[in-house]
Structure 1
Amino acid sequence: METSMSVLVCGAGPTGLVTAIELARRGIDVRIVDAAPEPSQLSKAAVLWRRSLEVLHPSVPVERFTAHGRPVHGIQFEADGSVLQEIDFGVNRGKFPHGLLIPQNRTEAVLTQALFDCGVQVERGMAVKDFSVSRKHVDVCFSDGQRRQFSWLIGADGAHSTVRKCLGVTFPGVAIDRRWLLADLELADSGPEDRIRMFLAPAGLLGLFPYGKRVWRVIADAGPIDPEIPRRDPTGEEMFHMLCSRSGLDWKLTKVHWLSEFRINERQVDRYCHGRVILAGDAAHIHSPAGGQGMNTSIQDAVNLSWKLAMVEKEQASMALLETYQSERHPVGAAVLQGSGRMLRIMMNQNPLIRFFRRRILPYIVGLAPIRKEAVNRLSEVDVEYCEGPLAQNERDRWIGRRCPDVPWGDDGVSIYDLFKGTGCTVIRLGSGARDESMWGRVISAAGPDAIAIDAVDSEGKITEEARPFARSLAVDSGTIVIVRPDYYFGPVSSDIDGILSWFTALKHL
């Protein structure tokens, strides 16, 4: 058996690629393999939501994605050729769009290049065949007969995960007994390409997602599965007829790019962490595509896991820190599964009362300002927080565990997210008053060697001008120290130095 490496990532979809990037930039020796001989040229997911763009930005700048995508500004609900209601995402005052319509294969290409820039290449045509786990290592057997020893194995190999199956872990849940069709169609004179369009037809839901250059992702409910009819992909004519009949509009089809049929499963494992083997992304949870949150939830799994695993591998924290990956991300996956499943069932139900609700009542409800705001926040995943976990045990701190907002740092277009250049925590002092310089030094020291310190104190001891928008967004006074975790959620936001030091101690010695 060959000598040990630190981490093997199994699967080179978005989850595996982000995991490998985040580990590599933290100096962890990582290897990533994928059974497919070539990257897929097909596109499953269609949207990168705001929170994913935020957490990726320090390692993969948002501009790399926007160069290949199109910002989405809203969702229209339509029926019989007219607009019933529109959820306008509102004016974007930050660096990141509420959502970016970008085919998954382009997202993967950007991530693959970013990983290559970190000095790591995906090994394709290489599958994990089996493995055994000891107290300190995972012994992996590959499909070519090679055996290798790793400190950790990350199962990011999708819904049919080999890693999960080798663990013997069940994947409880349900299969939705309906046929769904998917196509990428090029349409002439297709209307505005800055919003998602949902057609609420009696025959079933049909959604349109603009990719730009007149190419649209079409997804349609094709009704209950008939066990007597073999599974098959739709034809271009079938999809085009469905588009015209359900939208009530005239279209002109110029090209068919891709056609597929798929089935929806809703499943989640009970535990993500199994000693030195950890599951992430679709290997851990799969759900309805309603809301387009599957890939985004998986990317955020990867970001949450990677900084914690890096700390453990560098012996900067105990293995108990990895349990917070379970306690923080499992509830998020469960909430997405529940929310997307509820929406899917509302859209599929053919009961006359539900159909009336869907066409006449639901558009009115989502048009109400508070509901619209909640819907936008939920879609873009900026409402995700970790206020109940082991790293948020301070009831007096109202920010701990919450997302760091995207606010300007100065007035030259710089976002607070542009400052997150380190691989550890970011420590920000907003004005003086935190006792004395020696205490500030103790906080920086406690944050560890990978931390970045930002001293936003002017010559008079006040908060610097460029930092004031950030301070106002938190409603904090001069003398406050802000700790931002490596996944860009808040640690302590406080002037209590002893409390901050205690948090760092807990982080390292859970």
Structure 2
Amino acid sequence: MELARQGLQPDIVDKKPAPSSLSRAVGIMPASIQALAASGVGQAVLGEALPLQRVRFHRGSRCLANLDFSDITEPAERIRALPQDRTEQLMSDALQRMGVQVKYNSRVEGLKTDGHQATVTIADETQQNYDWVIAADGVKSVVRQQLNIPYVGYDLPEKWSIADVDYTGDYDADLFSIHLQNNGRPTIIVPIGVKRLRIVSATPDAIESLPATTRERIDISKVRRAGSFVISVRQAESYHVGRVLLAGDAAHCHSPVGGRGMNLGIADAVAAAHAVLNDEPALYSHQRHEHGKRVMRETERARKVLTSANPVVQSTLNVALMALGKLPFLKSRMLRQMISM
């Protein structure tokens, strides 16, 4: 979108047969909505997404903090929730208005680049030369592998899980809740639509991880999607080789704590378009690599605190969360950190 709205018509290839119907990432930060505003998508997101104005922390059956941010934020500063398939559809609609169509069933199988161009081979052995390639082809990026860029990092040993559910019971549509457990296996609940929730857990079964009283109160009527996954924390050593830039999961991946994945990818995309327009690939690689490293470091720090089974860490966190509910300046500081991380 950033390229097309400034007069460059990109080819977008995607190996999927059609747009994804999966909700995947759901949290949209204010900075992402602002970045999408230039193409009109930011306003469309605001029209559909749910504002998450409150955060509640539990430890077992005890409520440690019930934080309402509506009194210290303007609407444009609020974190919002929208299933990724809807966000992508809004982007696709904007692209079509600019005369750009996504080419599905087009799998990149090879790529070569020098200092002047990049040659891409598609699955049907069609070859095309481009001035620039922006590779956002995921954690198993074919482009990154073709360029022999190391994807340095590690996999966490435990299994996490996710479930998207419809419910008929009682749950506030603006409430983001985190249920901490003494065994270090938290469960997170995020509203993502009318009577629809995303549940994420540091256990193999997100629904079973819900506290019994919460599960009864929510009253799940339909499970739209459920599965488990292993968290990888990895980053490409460089985001740039020749006339190729890496962006999104092809460049970095980390835990879902903090909801930064899609938002970091959107910021990469805006910066990559700027780099192409201004012929600044090395600057892009340096700045986005440093920013990605910082986000990954802070995300991992938050994950380790939330999943700690150490009684000292848990007690310290409990005290800190209770203080948040009593001291407005700490609540404001927490919000700023959440939306800027």
TM-score scaled to structure 2, two decimals? 0.93
Higher-RCO chain (CA-CA 8 Å, sequence separation at least 6):
2
- 2:313 equivalent among 327, 334, 354: 354
Cα contact 1:244–1:251 (8 A) shared by 2: no
Cα contact 1:199–1:205 (8 A) shared by 2: yes
1:270 equivalent in alignment to 2:250: no
Give the greater-gyration-radius structure (CA): 1
Report 1:160-239 matches (<5 A).
Answer: 160-203=140-183, 204-222=185-203, 234=205, 239=206
User: Could you say which residue in structure 2 is the equivalent of 1:31?
Assistant: 11
1:101 equivalent in alignment to 2:81: yes
What is the aligned residue count?
339
Report 1:456-467 matches (<5 A).
Answer: none
Secondary structure at the counterpart of residue 131 of structure 2 = strand
User: Could you say which residue in structure 1 is the equivalent of 2:285?
Assistant: 326
Cα contact 1:183–1:259 (8 A) shared by 2: yes
Q: Kindly provide the amino acid, as one letter, of the partner of residue 258 in structure 1.
A: R
Report 1:286-435 matches (<5 A).
Answer: 286-312=253-279, 321-358=280-317, 360-367=318-325, 368-381=327-340
> 1:247, CA displacement in angstroms?
4.7
> 1:107, CA displacement in angstroms?
0.7
Cα contact 2:53–2:70 (8 A) shared by 1: yes
Q: Kindly provide the amino acid, as one letter, of the partner of residue 275 in structure 1.
A: G
Cα contact 2:254–2:261 (8 A) shared by 1: yes
> 1:137, CA displacement in angstroms?
1.3
> 1:345, CA displacement in angstroms?
1.2
1:11-57 CA-partner distances (Å, limit 9, x unpaired): xxxxxxxxxx1111111131000111111111211111101111111
> 1:74, CA displacement in angstroms?
2.3
Task: Identify if the C-alpha distance between structure 1 residues 137 and 94 changes in structure 2 by more than 3 Å, giving closer, same or farther.
Answer: same
Cα contact 2:154–2:233 (8 A) shared by 1: yes
Q: Kindly provide the amino acid, as one letter, of the partner of residue 150 in structure 2.
A: T
User: Could you say which residue in structure 2 is the equivalent of 1:124?
Assistant: 104
Task: Identify if the C-alpha distance between structure 1 residues 243 and 142 changes in structure 2 by more than 3 Å, giving closer, same or farther.
Answer: same
Unmatched 5+ stretches in structure 1: 1-20, 224-233, 313-320, 384-510
1: distance between equivalents of 2:255 and 2:207? 23
2: distance between equivalents of 1:70 and 1:170? 38
1: distance between equivalents of 2:85 and 2:108? 23
Secondary structure at the counterpart of residue 75 of structure 1 = strand
> 1:61, CA displacement in angstroms?
4.0
> 1:246, CA displacement in angstroms?
8.2
Cα contact 1:70–1:100 (8 A) shared by 2: yes
TM-score scaled to structure 1, two decimals? 0.63
1: distance between equivalents of 2:212 and 2:294? 34
Task: Identify if the C-alpha distance between structure 1 residues 372 and 343 changes in structure 2 by more than 3 Å, giving closer, same or farther.
Answer: same
1: distance between equivalents of 2:39 and 2:202? 37
Secondary structure at the counterpart of residue 172 of structure 1 = strand
Secondary structure at the counterpart of residue 22 of structure 2 = coil
User: Could you say which residue in structure 1 is the equivalent of 2:128?
Assistant: 148
> 1:191, CA displacement in angstroms?
2.1
Cα contact 2:169–2:220 (8 A) shared by 1: no
Secondary structure at the counterpart of residue 278 of structure 2 = helix
RMSD of equivalent CA atoms: 2.0
> 1:153, CA displacement in angstroms?
1.1
2: distance between equivalents of 1:288 and 1:241? 21
1: distance between equivalents of 2:202 and 2:212? 13
1: distance between equivalents of 2:208 and 2:42? 37
Secondary structure at the counterpart of residue 48 of structure 2 = coil
Secondary structure at the counterpart of residue 222 of structure 1 = coil
- 1:41 equivalent among 5, 8, 21: 21
Cα contact 1:71–1:97 (8 A) shared by 2: no
2: distance between equivalents of 1:195 and 1:154? 37
2: distance between equivalents of 1:218 and 1:285? 23
Unmatched 5+ stretches in structure 2: none
Secondary structure at the counterpart of residue 197 of structure 1 = strand
Cα contact 1:206–1:246 (8 A) shared by 2: no
2: distance between equivalents of 1:129 and 1:177? 31
2: distance between equivalents of 1:246 and 1:222? 18
